[in-house]
Structure 1
């Protein structure tokens, strides 16, 4: 691959896109990564907030941790550990039954290894997006991907109509690039017209999702009545998960910070009422209050948080199905188009990594087409 000059555009800087971009670059491919957000991470992003007193608060509002079993991914994990990008989160976890108001199934420390990025979940993606051979362009949303028959290449256009150049291949690591949801949210057609890849179009129609909303909370004092640092909620129609973000390795402990995730049903009902467009401030405030009220009903904390904010944009956070388990990604060799993400393999970080590796392998294993 070292003597092959080629350019590939990777759309999306979540862990799947970041792993794919890094792997391609390490194999001699020139990569330009496009990300509409200000920084990398996708659901592994870290949110920076400022409290009323000026205190900085950091939250991992998406994926709280990840576990690894695949040997290929374990190799990457060890590499990240050596670089100080990853650490094991050695705390107890469990579940809380909202009917009996009791904790159940508390895991002892070390029974199942849970890993987090250090100092934030986005640290892995940051590192991958900064590797040699990867040019990362943040704050640039892709508005259109056009296939140019005459040049046998892809043209990447920004949301603002700016031409970002032509590329010999494209990796779409964000399902919103081709999903009809893109139009529901933005009013514009999705950047990737799947009619350009008819063999893939049927497989990628209507990928089901489990919607989720998250609220970030900060407390002055530790919530000492909670015996675990992460737990699922049983018999709650509002909350599905909560974790103490400040208990993770490498985090500031000047305040105790918690993240609560809603149930899919709660989020789905809300979206049915408000639509997929950006919710109003009043709606965001109402949802944050309802999630906090459900948390209060458990009796797990006595004090009020000094900071509370709902995450906007979590409406279709987690895929509900795996649509390419065997291949681990989608590939159109004629147009050199790869589609990857956790929706391909499994709805977790490891699944996203595996899909990103598979997408990169499609290009690497077929160098003649590049």
Structure 2
């Protein structure tokens, strides 16, 4: 049996693993340093001081499916109850004119969300037959064994995680210099092992972002839209009424706001990429909320307010739009993710499908 390792359980890695195991009959092991799957599609479960439980989609708010291959995959998820269409009004708010514009009355493409949370999709995909998951298991080193024609994976603690006929890296930290900034160690993948890919993946620009999670007792009746981009603000870029999504609790009015990349870059330039202290995140939360209030819409104080930093989740470039993933056939290494195709969930799905297809082509010809 050909055994493959997938590093990262975001949507790209989860889609790839599901395709390899379910469609192509390949045994897959997923490694992720996080406690569960999802990546940027992760959700946050928070408990207030009085014991109230709140859930937020604090990463990707929704996704679209304009590509035919992605549409087929999403249709299957919809049939399985993993996703639903978010049928609400979306638009924009201009900070200068203080006006909303509902620019999506023309029936623009459908918006889908995972149910009951965004990461429900990834959780279902990585739980399918043929997929083994190892969470809390960060990969510290990838070693190519020329004699065996296989990869040896070692954990952050040096423990051997096994030998694999091929590897799919869906996590940028596998090869990014940012891994060194965070850990003080070289990235797991030595780029000298893949010289043909090295120039493309040496540094992928990213847009950092802070997400603000808010919960209100009463509806924000002054806001006519359930999701909107924010124009002419240096602090906020978009806002979404999380509770209006299908399958969500309506016990409170939960909103998620995203900062501008400019705001996040300025703060990260001062603080670095290390874990931020709670006091700093509290300060960020208050600054983002103050900008929300500055929209002039009589927004009350929330009973819950918390910020989260996305340091490198949003790629600012696409490095393999035509092939949809990077591929080294000799070493059976695929690199996939939204940074390969387009910086969104649909791009990540397409890249995961492409990576799975590369391995199928190899194994079906043996």
TM-score interval (norm. to shorter): over 0.9
Inter-partner Cα distance in structure 2 for 1:369 and 1:242? 49
Asked if structure 2 preserves the Cα contact closer than 8 Å seen for 1:99 and 1:235, the reply is yes
Paired position in structure 2 for 1:168: 165
Return the match for 2:83 from 83, 86, 90: 86
CA separation of 1:301/1:120 partners in 2, compared to 1, >3 Å: closer, same or farther?
farther
Return the match for 1:339 from 322, 330, 335: 335
- Segments of 5+ residues of structure 2 without an aligned counterpart are none
Inter-partner Cα distance in structure 2 for 1:24 and 1:315? 30
Inter-partner Cα distance in structure 2 for 1:307 and 1:162? 41
Paired position in structure 1 for 2:305: 308
CA separation of 1:189/1:301 partners in 2, compared to 1, >3 Å: closer, same or farther?
farther
Inter-partner Cα distance in structure 2 for 1:109 and 1:47? 33
Asked if structure 1 preserves the Cα contact closer than 8 Å seen for 2:66 and 2:109, the reply is no
Paired position in structure 2 for 1:180: 177
Does residue 49 of the first structure (1) align with residue 42 of the second (2)?
no
CA separation of 1:368/1:117 partners in 2, compared to 1, >3 Å: closer, same or farther?
closer
Query: Secondary structure in 2 aligned to 1:179?
Result: coil
Paired position in structure 2 for 1:33: 30
Paired position in structure 1 for 2:355: 359
Give matches, 1:262-281, under 5 Å. 262-281=259-278
Does residue 150 of the first structure (1) align with residue 118 of the second (2)?
no
Inter-partner Cα distance in structure 2 for 1:21 and 1:34? 11
CA separation of 1:109/1:80 partners in 2, compared to 1, >3 Å: closer, same or farther?
farther
Inter-partner Cα distance in structure 1 for 2:263 and 2:164? 42
Inter-partner Cα distance in structure 1 for 2:147 and 2:113? 46
Inter-partner Cα distance in structure 2 for 1:24 and 1:232? 37
Cα offset for 1:106? Answer: 4.0
Inter-partner Cα distance in structure 2 for 1:162 and 1:135? 18
Paired position in structure 2 for 1:72: 69
Give matches, 1:17-32, under 5 Å. 17-26=13-22, 27-32=24-29
Cα offset for 1:110? Answer: 5.0
Give matches, 1:195-234, under 5 Å. 195-234=192-231
Aligned-CA RMSD value = 1.3
Asked if structure 1 preserves the Cα contact closer than 8 Å seen for 2:15 and 2:353, the reply is yes
Query: Secondary structure in 2 aligned to 1:16?
Result: helix
Asked if structure 1 preserves the Cα contact closer than 8 Å seen for 2:175 and 2:202, the reply is no
Query: Secondary structure in 2 aligned to 1:278?
Result: coil
Query: Secondary structure in 2 aligned to 1:261?
Result: strand
Q: Deviations over 1:201-220 (max 9, x none)?
A: 01112111111111101011
Does residue 96 of the first structure (1) align with residue 93 of the second (2)?
yes
- TM-score scaled to structure 1, two decimals? 0.96
Query: Secondary structure in 1 aligned to 2:209?
Result: coil
Cα offset for 1:111? Answer: 4.0
Query: Secondary structure in 2 aligned to 1:140?
Result: coil
Cα offset for 1:302? Answer: 3.0
Inter-partner Cα distance in structure 1 for 2:365 and 2:190? 22
Give matches, 1:282-293, under 5 Å. 282-293=279-290
Cα offset for 1:276? Answer: 1.2
Query: What is the number of equivalent residue pairs in this alignment?
Result: 365
- TM-score scaled to structure 2, two decimals? 0.97
